[in-house]
Chain A
Amino acid sequence: MKLGFSAADEAFRQECADWLNAEMAGEFRDIKGITKLTASPERRKEWEQRLGEAKWGCIGWPVEWGGRNATLAQQVIFAEEYARAGVPGRVNHIGVELAGPTLLAFGTEEQKQRFLPGIAAGKTIFCQGFSEPGAGSDLASVRTKGRLENGEWVVNGQKIWTSLAHISDWIFVVTRTEEGSKGPKGLTFLMMEIDQPGIEIRGIKQINGDAEFNETFFTDARCPADSLIGAVGDGWKIAMGLLAFERGVSTLGQQMAFRNELDELIAAAKANGAANNPLIRQRLAKAEIGLRLMRYGALRMLSNTDHSKIDGAALTYKIQWATWRRNLGELAMDVLGQAGEVAEGSEYEWDTLPNLFLYSRADTIYGGTNQIQRNLIAERGLGLPREPRGDV
């Protein structure tokens, strides 16, 4: 068991920090410190391309696909330095962290050729078309239909809550391709180009006033026959494989963003005197401890190579960070007081901490709600009986 990084790793950390800091002080200084997901999309797409050019876009990928074959420690370090330097979150998070690894694991050689270079270069932005109005937690009940017709898939139906669809180039879609099938059977995983007449995107305004997610309508939308990952009917398997990548190294970068939020909160508490309140001090300490434990939980999960046993750190990770952040948002409002409930200016737009309070209500919903996480933990982690399915 070893926590410290090697001298070579520390040198790598310096290299990452130097490059990122230089970029954030130079050509891309206008996007430094952006935390809102929808802000400056065009500039952030340019940033994706800059990362791609410099081969910092997908460092964990194999060299042949535009990566650096970086070790785990290096990926951890890059993710940490990325957030530390105040670089905004990746607009192509879904492409880099989900679509790419899924293609690497399940795609054909030809599909890798088709998609990976674009993702690595920051030019192919992906979004995720899983949820539907009638299929949220119960993803297996998706109804969007896909059928093969004249060498093309033709897709009809609706997805919802599709984050960043309005700035994406591609969407991966779980479709029901076997007429009359139910549940996880008969689903197929398709990659579709968004810019086509059959796909329409409408923004949905969220509780913080922002509109990160969308409704995505498919009306005879099309993609070539070879747009499926895996085989016809493998959609569930691929979708589940993809979701497993969600717990990858990117979580460490996310934590460094949380670090920035907590630091801002600590500074606010000192500035307005809340830090003298013993109850607030206790909660700040708990938040600090929770964040550190998140880091070491993630390092345990990433260091683990024995996949024969259930990895408790991995299984509990999502609900842990989501709940931590939601609590941080509530603490932020207790620290700010009513000053946190008013915004400067006439726009319904919030600074980091009030926005954290509002946005963090989504953290415990997307990517599997806290209730669904508890079901998974109880069933997979503790071997308790599965939830019964109804037939309504």
Chain B
Amino acid sequence: MEFVFTEEQAMIGETARAFFAENATSERTRKAMAADGIDRDLWTAFCQELGLSGIGIPESAGGAGLGLVELAIIAEAAGAQVAALPMLGSLVLSAQAIAAGGSAEQQAARLPGLLSGEVVAGYVHDAGITADGAGLSGSAGFVAHGGSAQLFVVTSNTGAWLVPADGPGVTVTPLTSMDQTRPYARVTLADAPGEPLADPAAAIAAAHRAGFVAVAAEALGGAQAALDRTVAYARERVQFGRPIGSFQAYKHRLADLMIEIEQARSAVYWAACAVDEGSDEAALAVHAAKSFAADTFFLCAGNMIQLHGGIGFTWEHDAHLSFKRARAIQSMLGNGEWHREQVATMILGEAA
């Protein structure tokens, strides 16, 4: 038992934070927001130069090994900058599904393109997707970065397939999305040919586990950044002849944010670690992390606007990027109520 980062983990964190802080600037993110929500240069640099894109994918599948703790460290750093990248859909959900549920051939054919960033994959999940022979039918309304994907990993609750975005029967409709750093698309399948993954159950489980932890980590990074920026403002902005951060009502709100963030930090790394260690707490931990960290980020981002006053309500200020990202994280991959209901089922000893 040693619940602190190893030296290697601390180094990954430093590298990732420095990379995103330097490159995922507000200016660049806003350019991406005006387009398809992907900063291409950043994506290429992250995947090809930084050497961290294969983290969390086993070496046997062409990844860099390590686990969800390291993946969470990277997602936290990216989340702090609200970076406009298809990391969640492509590197986390899709790549994890293929690495865990794809055959050796499927891994060899698909993962290199995803890890190098040359192929963007979108993750399409809907319980109502049906397979009739090789043809898939159904639709999913909220596929993150779906409008930019060349490949889809499509899952229902029991099946998992690979579907090329330009294949027959596939319609992709990009949607004007509140969070422009991760815009959604509707993906409709009408008897679209899909290549089944070898082990769909493993693919779905791995994708969702990693997805819960990664968005939770992203939320943690975003929450901490929202707090840090608000604290900096609280020190410099003066009203009534004193820094606004000297008013107790203001201080206490910031303290409350820190209290939540510290718990979110415990949640994220507990969940990541529990999954990596195969602990029997893992199932509960990932639901705890997703729901808790998402709510924490939203609380922090909402307060970031309020505690900045008028400037916080402007398009120019970055507060709304956090606010919208936080809201999106709360809804995606199961909302807080759904995750807590999973926890309730477990602790009440009811069969899921």
Which of B34-42, B43-51, B165-173, B338-346 makes up part of the contact surface? B338-346
Bound-complex Cα distance A3 to B2 (A): 6
Contact with B along A105-136 (1 / 0, CB 8 A): 00000000000000000000000000000000
Q: In the docked arrangement, what's the CA distance between A72 and B4, Å? A: 13
A318 vs chain B, min Cβ distance (A): 10
Q: Given the known A-B contacts A1-B269, A4-B1, are A316 and B259 also in contact in the complex, defined by CB atoms under 8 Å?
A: yes
A-B contact count (CB 8 A): 160
Task: State which of B4, B261, B279, B340 has its C-beta within 8 Å of the C-beta of A305.
Answer: B4
B157: chain A residues within 8 A (beta carbon): none
Min Cβ gap B3→A in Å is 4
For B248, the closest partner residue in chain A by CB is: A387
CB pair A312–B266 under 8 Å, yes or no, is no
- Give a binary string over B274-298; 1 marks a CB under 8 Å from any A CB, 0 the rest: 1001010100110010011000000
Q: Out of B1, B258, B274, which one reaches A303, CB within 8 Å?
A: B1
- Which of B340, B341, B349 touches A289 (beta carbons < 8 Å)? B340
> What's the nearest-Cβ distance from chain B to residue A6, in Å?
8
Q: Is the CB of B258 within 8 A of A1?
A: no
A20 — which chain B residues lie within 8 A by C-beta? none
Asked whether any CB of chain A lies closer than 8 Å to the CB of B347, the reply is: yes
Contact with B along A249-271 (1 / 0, CB 8 A): 00000000000000000100110
A330 within 8 A of B: no
Which residues in B have their C-beta under 8 angstroms from that of A285?
340-341, 343-344, 347
* Residue pair A293, B267 in contact (C-beta under 8 Å): yes
Chain B stretch 246-265: residues in CB contact (< 8 A) with chain A? 246, 248, 251-252, 254-256, 258-259, 261-263, 265
Does B119 belong to the interface (CB within 8 Å)?
no
A305–B267 Cα gap in the complex (Å)? 20
CB B314 to nearest CB in A, in angstroms, measures 24
Residues of B within 8 A of A373 (CB): 255
Q: How far is the CA of A269 from the CA of B273 in the complex (A)?
A: 31
A292 to B343, CA, bound (A): 12
**Nearest chain A CB to B245's CB is how many angstroms away?**
4
What 0/1 pattern do residues 339 to 364 of A give for CB contact below 8 A with B? 00000000000000000000000000
| B255 and A300 within 8 A (CB) | no
Binds B, one of A88-96, A159-167, A376-384: A376-384
Chain B positions within 8 Å of A269 at CB level: 348
Contact status B279-A3, CB under 8 Å: yes
Determine whether the beta carbon of B3 is less than 8 Å from that of A299: yes
Residues of B within 8 A of A387 (CB): 248
**A73-B1, A282-B341 known; A378 vs B243 contact (CB < 8 Å):** no
How extensive is the interface on chain B, given as a class?
35 or more
Interface positions, chain A 360-392, Cβ under 8 Å from B, are 371, 373-375, 377-379, 381-385, 387-388
> When each residue 317-352 of chain B gets 1 if its CB lies under 8 Å from chain A and 0 otherwise, what string results?
000000000000000000001001101100111000
CB distance from B55 to the nearest CB of A (A): 14
Q: A267 CB to closest chain B CB, in angstroms?
A: 10
Inter-subunit contact B284/A281 (CB<8 Å): no
Complex contacts, B235 vs chain A, CB 8 Å: 383-385
Q: Does B106 contact A (CB under 8 A)?
A: no
Residue of A nearest to B266 (CB): A296
B176 on interface, CB distance cutoff 8 Å: no
Residues of A in contact with B, size category: 35 or more
B266–A289 contact, CB under 8 A? no
Q: Is A219 close to B, CB under 8 A?
A: no
Q: Across the interface, do A377 and B3 meet the contact criterion of CB distance under 8 Å?
A: no
CB within 8 Å of B: which of A1-22?
A: 1-6, 9
Q: How far is the CA of A290 from the CA of B9 in the complex (A)?
A: 26
In whole angstroms, how far apart are the Cα atoms of A9 and B256 in the complex?
Answer: 36
Contact with A along B221-246 (1 / 0, CB 8 A): 00000010001001100000011011
Residue of A nearest to B345 (CB): A281
**Is there contact, CB below 8 Å, between B2 and A2?**
yes
Interface string of A288-311 (1 = CB under 8 A from B): 111011001101101111000000
The reply on B270 being an interface residue by CB < 8 A is: yes
- At the interface, yes or no: A182 with Cβ under 8 Å from chain B? no
A374 and B348 contacting across the interface, CB-CB below 8 Å: no
A313 at the interface (CB under 8 A from B): yes
B266–A374 contact, CB under 8 A?
no
Q: In the complex, how many angstroms separate the beta carbon of A5 from the nearest chain B beta carbon?
A: 5
User: Which residues from B are CB-within-8-Å of A278?
Assistant: 341
- Residue numbers of A with Cβ under 8 A of B are 1-6, 9, 72-73, 76, 266, 269-270, 275, 278, 281-282, 284-286, 288-290, 292-293, 296-297, 299-300, 302-305, 312-313, 315-316, 319-320, 371, 373-375, 377-379, 381-385, 387-388
13 interchain pairs, CB-CB under 8 A = A1-B4, A3-B274, A266-B348, A278-B341, A284-B344, A285-B347, A289-B267, A304-B4, A375-B252, A382-B231, A382-B255, A382-B258, A383-B231
List 10 extra interface pairs beyond A266-B347, A316-B263, CB under 8 A: A1-B5, A284-B347, A289-B267, A293-B266, A293-B292, A296-B267, A297-B266, A373-B255, A378-B252, A378-B255
What residues of chain B have their CB less than 8 Å away from a CB belonging to chain A?
A: 1-6, 9, 69, 227, 231, 234-235, 242-243, 245-246, 248, 251-252, 254-256, 258-259, 261-263, 265-267, 269-270, 273-274, 277, 279, 281, 284-285, 288, 291-292, 337, 340-341, 343-344, 347-349
